[in-house]
Amino acid sequence: MAGLWSNLKHISAMARMFVQICSTKYLRTKVRVVPFAYLDVVDRCNSRCRTCDIWRPRPDSPPELTTDEILSLRPALRRLKTQIVSIGGGEPTLRHDLETCIAAFRKDGMSVHINTNALAIDQARARSLAQAGLSVVYVSCDHPDRDGYKAIRGVDGLNRVVAAVEHFRSLPEPIPVGINVVVSRLNQDALEALADRCIKWGVQKLQFIPVHTYLRYREMVQAALEQLTPRREDLPDIKATIGRIASRLQALGIETNSRFYIDHFETAYEFVRPVPCLAGSLFVMINPFGDVFPCYQQQKGLNIRQMPLDAIVRSTEFRAQRRGVVGCNLACWDAGSAEPSIRFHLPYLLRHPIEVYREARMHLG
Ligand SMILES: C[S@@+](CC[C@H](N)C(=O)[O-])C[C@H]1O[C@@H](n2cnc3c(N)ncnc32)[C@H](O)[C@@H]1O
Ligand code: SF4
């Protein structure tokens, strides 16, 4: 009976969310909800990834949000009926107030996720994150072998990642673990071996993301990133491999990318917009300095240090940015933006209701 009640609650929450997002996006009504908030809390990192430069010192950056500033988002998130706060960075576990923030958002009834490289997560930290109420942990792991991992992420960290996944899974109440894999020339031949390992670790989700040269990585030396981009002629094989892995995972009850996402993997490298992007309607992004924008393509925005988040998303300036999303013609297939946009696209939702529901259930906690 409790299971049925919780299923009904999730379905009704999703239906309400869907109607409100559509009315904001297509009827341009006043924003009443922002179901997801991507909140980056750190502009530093303990890894040295070749695909990302957040770890490089930037002496001119403004100060990161303080604990109080992060917690001051709560009333606005409650007013916007935000259901999921996804905390990332940089590396969020570098912040010692991470547990305080998680506990506060949980107290307000939100599901809280973190995106982490897991290098700093030992058993005690996994336990304290769980005690704070962490709902889902996304761990990045791009290669199944020690040397391959080190070549991509710049540190000898695979053992720590494996141990961290085990710490989360062996808690008295295990935390669901999702693995994020950035697909590049450095691991395109190791994806099946990586999937084998993740299945053995007992993870709940495994998702593949094409390496991007835009988004927050656009300040990087583009030539270096382009060397990591899979060759055009390799894309059909990569898609076929990921498709095979996805079928295997689905048969095992492990969440993964939508088939639509896999079929349009090259959208990361050439402009096509196979489904309308819901940036700014379904989700907003807040960077470690408090700037708010619909997605990483538009990194200048109003700041929560100046006005509350709900006032920002209702402002003329943000509305103009949201309209900019409709005309956006940049190559982008970031899973954090694309997958929710696919799954909230009505034709997709009607064709795959069970998949969408299962995915929502994992994320809503
Ligand atoms: C910027 S990281 C922040 C969270 C945390 N430090 C981590 O690595 O999981 C968020 C995600 O972006 C991925 N990422 C890094 N470089 C990327 C790139 N060039 N294109 C696409 N995704 C990338 C990471 O692997 C990770 O899954
Ligand atoms: S991808 Fe994550 S772990 Fe790697 S440098 Fe960027 S922020 Fe750090």
Reported as a single tens digit per residue, the pLDDT across 293-315 is: 999 877 788 999 999 999 999 99
User: Is residue 327's pLDDT more than 90?
Assistant: no
Ligand nearest to the CA of 219: 1
Average pLDDT over residues 335-360: 91
Kindly give the distance from the C-alpha atom of residue 24 to the centroid of ligand 2, in angstroms, as a whole number.
Answer: 33
pLDDT at 226: 86
The values of phi and psi at residue 87, to 5°, are -100, 125
Lookup: tokens for 91: 């590396």
Radius of gyration of the chain (CA): 19
Ligand nearest to the CA of 55: 2
Tell me which of 123-127, 141-145, 274-278 is least confident: 274-278
Q: Which amino acid is it at 226? A: E
Report the number of secondary-structure helices (H) and strands (E) in the chain. Answer: 16, 9
pLDDT at 297: 78
User: Is residue 174's pLDDT more than 80?
Assistant: yes
Paired with 114 in beta bridges are: 87, 137
Q: What share of the chain is helix, strand, coil (3-state, %, to 5)?
A: 45, 10, 40
pLDDT band at 11 (very low <50, low <70, confident <90, very high): confident
CA distance 191 to 181: 9
User: Is residue 17's pLDDT more than 90?
Assistant: no
Domains and CATH numbers, the chain: 31-364 (3.20.20.70)
**What does pLDDT average to over the chain?**
92
The values of phi and psi at residue 75, to 5°, are -60, -40
| CA distance from start to end of the chain | 18
The residues lining ligand 2, judged by C-beta closer than 6 Å to any ligand atom, are: 45, 47, 49, 52, 54-55, 89-91, 117, 140
pTM confidence score: 0.94
The values of phi and psi at residue 182, to 5°, are -90, 120
